[in-house]
Amino acid sequence: MPQAPSSRTITMPELRPHLEGVAGWLTGEEAETLYTLARRVTGRGVIVEIGSFKGRSTICLALGSRVGAGAPVYAIDPGHGFKRFDEFRANIERAGVDDLVIPVAARSEVAFQTFEPERIELLFIDGSHEYRQVMLDFAQWTSKLVDGGMLVMHDTTAASPGSKKVAEDSMYRSRAFRNVRFVYSSMTVGQKVAETTVGERARNRASLGIKLGFDGLVRVRGNIPDGLRSVGRRGLRSLQRGPGGS
Protein backbone atom coordinates (compact mmCIF):
# COMPACT_ATOMS: atom_id res chain seq x y z
CA MET A 1 0.00 0.00 0.00
CA PRO A 2 1.60 3.33 -1.06
CA GLN A 3 2.29 5.66 1.82
CA ALA A 4 1.14 9.27 2.07
CA PRO A 5 3.60 11.69 0.43
CA SER A 6 6.09 13.32 2.78
CA SER A 7 5.57 16.99 3.52
CA ARG A 8 9.27 17.68 2.91
CA THR A 9 11.19 17.30 -0.33
CA ILE A 10 14.93 16.62 -0.31
CA THR A 11 16.82 19.33 -2.19
CA MET A 12 19.53 18.51 -4.72
CA PRO A 13 22.36 19.61 -2.39
CA GLU A 14 20.94 17.12 0.11
CA LEU A 15 20.72 14.38 -2.52
CA ARG A 16 24.35 14.58 -3.61
CA PRO A 17 25.91 13.41 -0.32
CA HIS A 18 23.96 10.15 -0.62
CA LEU A 19 25.73 9.52 -3.93
CA GLU A 20 29.27 10.29 -2.82
CA GLY A 21 31.47 7.25 -3.13
CA VAL A 22 28.80 5.30 -5.05
CA ALA A 23 30.26 4.21 -8.39
CA GLY A 24 28.17 4.85 -11.48
CA TRP A 25 27.78 6.98 -14.59
CA LEU A 26 24.92 9.37 -13.85
CA THR A 27 25.50 13.08 -14.34
CA GLY A 28 24.00 15.54 -11.88
CA GLU A 29 21.20 16.30 -14.34
CA GLU A 30 20.42 12.60 -14.76
CA ALA A 31 20.42 11.94 -11.02
CA GLU A 32 18.08 14.88 -10.47
CA THR A 33 15.78 13.65 -13.23
CA LEU A 34 15.44 10.17 -11.71
CA TYR A 35 14.82 11.63 -8.28
CA THR A 36 12.16 14.05 -9.58
CA LEU A 37 10.36 11.44 -11.66
CA ALA A 38 10.26 9.00 -8.73
CA ARG A 39 8.96 11.73 -6.44
CA ARG A 40 6.06 12.26 -8.87
CA VAL A 41 5.03 8.60 -8.99
CA THR A 42 1.50 8.44 -7.59
CA GLY A 43 1.28 4.77 -6.66
CA ARG A 44 -0.64 3.60 -9.75
CA GLY A 45 2.30 1.31 -10.39
CA VAL A 46 5.74 0.39 -9.10
CA ILE A 47 9.18 1.70 -10.07
CA VAL A 48 11.47 -0.63 -12.03
CA GLU A 49 15.10 -0.21 -13.00
CA ILE A 50 16.89 -2.60 -15.31
CA GLY A 51 20.57 -2.41 -14.44
CA SER A 52 21.54 -1.26 -10.96
CA PHE A 53 25.32 -1.77 -10.75
CA LYS A 54 26.26 -0.46 -7.28
CA GLY A 55 23.06 1.46 -6.59
CA ARG A 56 23.70 5.05 -7.73
CA SER A 57 20.51 5.25 -9.79
CA THR A 58 18.65 3.07 -7.28
CA ILE A 59 19.33 5.59 -4.53
CA CYS A 60 18.01 8.48 -6.66
CA LEU A 61 14.83 6.57 -7.45
CA ALA A 62 14.23 5.39 -3.89
CA LEU A 63 14.91 8.80 -2.29
CA GLY A 64 12.44 10.35 -4.71
CA SER A 65 9.88 7.68 -3.98
CA ARG A 66 10.39 8.20 -0.26
CA VAL A 67 9.12 11.79 -0.44
CA GLY A 68 6.46 10.84 -2.96
CA ALA A 69 4.01 7.97 -2.72
CA GLY A 70 6.52 5.44 -1.38
CA ALA A 71 6.27 3.11 -4.37
CA PRO A 72 8.69 0.18 -4.17
CA VAL A 73 11.74 0.18 -6.42
CA TYR A 74 12.49 -3.14 -8.13
CA ALA A 75 16.22 -3.18 -8.91
CA ILE A 76 16.87 -5.85 -11.54
CA ASP A 77 20.48 -6.84 -12.17
CA PRO A 78 22.14 -10.25 -12.59
CA GLY A 79 25.13 -8.82 -10.72
CA HIS A 80 23.10 -8.95 -7.50
CA GLY A 81 24.07 -12.60 -7.41
CA PHE A 82 27.78 -11.79 -7.24
CA LYS A 83 30.24 -10.16 -4.86
CA ARG A 84 29.43 -6.57 -5.83
CA PHE A 85 25.95 -7.03 -4.40
CA ASP A 86 27.53 -6.43 -0.99
CA GLU A 87 28.51 -2.94 -2.17
CA PHE A 88 25.06 -2.36 -3.63
CA ARG A 89 23.38 -3.36 -0.39
CA ALA A 90 25.77 -1.27 1.72
CA ASN A 91 25.15 1.77 -0.48
CA ILE A 92 21.35 1.63 -0.29
CA GLU A 93 21.49 0.95 3.45
CA ARG A 94 23.74 3.98 3.97
CA ALA A 95 21.27 6.08 1.98
CA GLY A 96 18.45 4.82 4.20
CA VAL A 97 16.34 3.39 1.38
CA ASP A 98 16.85 -0.36 1.73
CA ASP A 99 13.26 -0.77 2.95
CA LEU A 100 11.95 0.54 -0.40
CA VAL A 101 14.33 -1.39 -2.67
CA ILE A 102 13.59 -4.93 -3.84
CA PRO A 103 16.71 -6.41 -5.50
CA VAL A 104 16.06 -8.97 -8.23
CA ALA A 105 19.13 -11.07 -9.09
CA ALA A 106 18.33 -12.08 -12.64
CA ARG A 107 18.68 -11.07 -16.26
CA SER A 108 15.85 -8.76 -17.23
CA GLU A 109 14.16 -11.17 -19.63
CA VAL A 110 14.18 -13.89 -16.95
CA ALA A 111 12.90 -11.53 -14.26
CA PHE A 112 10.04 -10.48 -16.54
CA GLN A 113 8.68 -14.03 -16.72
CA THR A 114 7.96 -14.14 -12.98
CA PHE A 115 7.47 -10.43 -12.25
CA GLU A 116 4.31 -10.13 -10.16
CA PRO A 117 3.31 -6.43 -10.23
CA GLU A 118 0.96 -5.81 -13.14
CA ARG A 119 1.62 -2.09 -13.48
CA ILE A 120 4.79 0.01 -13.70
CA GLU A 121 4.59 3.79 -13.35
CA LEU A 122 8.28 4.60 -13.81
CA LEU A 123 10.65 2.42 -15.85
CA PHE A 124 14.40 3.00 -16.12
CA ILE A 125 16.23 0.91 -18.74
CA ASP A 126 20.00 0.80 -18.24
CA GLY A 127 20.99 -2.82 -18.70
CA SER A 128 22.75 -4.31 -21.71
CA HIS A 129 23.36 -1.79 -24.50
CA GLU A 130 23.41 -4.40 -27.25
CA TYR A 131 20.57 -3.61 -29.68
CA ARG A 132 18.67 -6.90 -29.53
CA GLN A 133 18.73 -6.96 -25.73
CA VAL A 134 17.70 -3.31 -25.41
CA MET A 135 14.86 -3.90 -27.86
CA LEU A 136 13.74 -6.93 -25.84
CA ASP A 137 13.84 -4.94 -22.60
CA PHE A 138 11.84 -2.17 -24.26
CA ALA A 139 9.22 -4.50 -25.76
CA GLN A 140 8.70 -6.58 -22.63
CA TRP A 141 8.81 -4.01 -19.86
CA THR A 142 6.95 -1.14 -21.52
CA SER A 143 4.01 -3.53 -21.91
CA LYS A 144 3.50 -3.10 -18.14
CA LEU A 145 4.03 0.68 -18.19
CA VAL A 146 0.74 2.47 -17.45
CA ASP A 147 -0.64 5.21 -19.69
CA GLY A 148 0.90 8.41 -18.40
CA GLY A 149 3.82 6.46 -16.95
CA MET A 150 7.38 7.62 -17.56
CA LEU A 151 10.10 5.76 -19.45
CA VAL A 152 13.77 6.64 -18.99
CA MET A 153 16.57 5.16 -21.08
CA HIS A 154 20.24 5.66 -20.32
CA ASP A 155 23.19 5.70 -22.73
CA THR A 156 21.15 6.77 -25.76
CA THR A 157 23.98 8.62 -27.53
CA ALA A 158 26.40 7.58 -30.27
CA ALA A 159 28.68 5.89 -27.74
CA SER A 160 26.02 3.16 -27.30
CA PRO A 161 24.56 2.50 -30.79
CA GLY A 162 22.10 -0.16 -29.63
CA SER A 163 20.44 1.96 -26.94
CA LYS A 164 20.60 5.00 -29.25
CA LYS A 165 18.71 3.25 -32.04
CA VAL A 166 15.97 1.93 -29.73
CA ALA A 167 15.45 5.35 -28.13
CA GLU A 168 15.35 7.20 -31.43
CA ASP A 169 13.10 4.71 -33.24
CA SER A 170 10.83 3.72 -30.36
CA MET A 171 10.60 6.98 -28.39
CA TYR A 172 11.45 10.08 -30.44
CA ARG A 173 9.82 8.71 -33.63
CA SER A 174 7.05 6.79 -31.86
CA ARG A 175 3.36 7.61 -31.57
CA ALA A 176 3.26 6.04 -28.11
CA PHE A 177 5.46 8.56 -26.24
CA ARG A 178 5.10 12.30 -25.84
CA ASN A 179 7.29 15.00 -24.34
CA VAL A 180 10.36 12.99 -25.29
CA ARG A 181 13.50 14.86 -24.32
CA PHE A 182 17.23 14.44 -23.90
CA VAL A 183 18.96 14.92 -20.54
CA TYR A 184 22.73 15.54 -20.40
CA SER A 185 24.75 13.48 -20.92
CA SER A 186 23.04 10.39 -22.36
CA MET A 187 19.49 10.03 -21.01
CA THR A 188 16.19 10.04 -22.91
CA VAL A 189 12.88 10.55 -21.08
CA GLY A 190 9.30 10.23 -22.38
CA GLN A 191 5.72 9.75 -21.22
CA LYS A 192 3.69 6.79 -22.49
CA VAL A 193 0.33 7.61 -24.06
CA ALA A 194 -2.27 5.79 -26.14
CA GLU A 195 -1.65 8.05 -29.15
CA THR A 196 0.33 11.23 -29.63
CA THR A 197 -1.08 14.30 -31.35
CA VAL A 198 0.45 15.79 -34.48
CA GLY A 199 1.85 18.62 -32.37
CA GLU A 200 3.38 16.21 -29.86
CA ARG A 201 5.04 14.25 -32.65
CA ALA A 202 6.48 17.45 -34.06
CA ARG A 203 7.90 18.39 -30.67
CA ASN A 204 9.43 14.92 -30.31
CA ARG A 205 11.14 15.33 -33.69
CA ALA A 206 12.43 18.74 -32.66
CA SER A 207 13.78 17.21 -29.47
CA LEU A 208 15.46 14.50 -31.53
CA GLY A 209 17.12 17.22 -33.59
CA ILE A 210 18.56 18.74 -30.42
CA LYS A 211 19.84 15.33 -29.30
CA LEU A 212 21.47 14.61 -32.66
CA GLY A 213 23.10 18.03 -32.54
CA PHE A 214 24.52 17.14 -29.13
CA ASP A 215 25.84 13.84 -30.54
CA GLY A 216 27.66 15.82 -33.20
CA LEU A 217 29.18 18.23 -30.71
CA VAL A 218 30.43 15.39 -28.53
CA ARG A 219 32.70 14.28 -31.36
CA VAL A 220 34.48 17.64 -31.37
CA ARG A 221 34.12 18.56 -27.69
CA GLY A 222 37.88 18.60 -27.21
CA ASN A 223 37.94 21.76 -29.35
CA ILE A 224 35.16 23.52 -27.43
CA PRO A 225 36.23 25.90 -24.62
CA ASP A 226 35.09 24.92 -21.11
CA GLY A 227 33.06 28.11 -20.71
CA LEU A 228 31.15 27.46 -23.91
CA ARG A 229 30.50 23.88 -22.84
CA SER A 230 28.95 25.09 -19.59
CA VAL A 231 26.73 27.55 -21.46
CA GLY A 232 25.63 24.80 -23.84
CA ARG A 233 24.86 22.45 -20.97
CA ARG A 234 22.65 25.05 -19.28
CA GLY A 235 20.97 25.82 -22.58
CA LEU A 236 20.23 22.16 -23.21
CA ARG A 237 18.67 21.85 -19.77
CA SER A 238 16.46 24.87 -20.41
CA LEU A 239 15.36 23.70 -23.85
CA GLN A 240 14.61 20.17 -22.76
CA ARG A 241 12.47 20.77 -19.69
CA GLY A 242 9.26 18.75 -19.83
CA PRO A 243 6.48 17.16 -17.75
CA GLY A 244 8.00 14.93 -15.14
CA GLY A 245 11.34 16.63 -15.59
CA SER A 246 13.43 18.73 -13.30
Higher local confidence (pLDDT), 91 or 3: 91
Mean pLDDT lowest among 132-141, 142-151, 200-209, 226-235: 226-235
Tell me whether residue 97 is in a domain. yes
CATH code (residue 103): 3.40.50.150
Look up the domain containing 28 and give its range: 12-239
pLDDT of residue 217: 72
Name the nearest CA neighbour of 150 among 104, 188, 116.
Answer: 188
pLDDT at 44: 97
In a domain, 6, yes or no: no
pTM: 0.89
The answer to whether the CB of 215 falls within 8 A of the CB of 180 is no
Instruction: Judge whether 1 lies within some domain.
Output: no
Distance of alpha carbon 159 from alpha carbon 183, whole angstroms: 15
Q: Is residue 171 part of a domain?
A: yes
Give 92-107 pLDDT, tens digit per residue. 999 999 999 999 999 9
Mean pLDDT of the chain: 88
Residue 87 located in a structural domain: yes
Q: Is residue 2 part of a domain?
A: no
- Contact predicate 62/95, CB 8 Å: yes
Check pLDDT > 90 for residue 246: no
Residue 246: inside a domain, yes or no? no
User: Which pLDDT belongs to residue 222?
Assistant: 52
Kindly tell me if the per-residue pLDDT of 54 is higher than 50: yes
Q: How many domains in the chain? A: 1
Q: Is residue 102 part of a domain?
A: yes
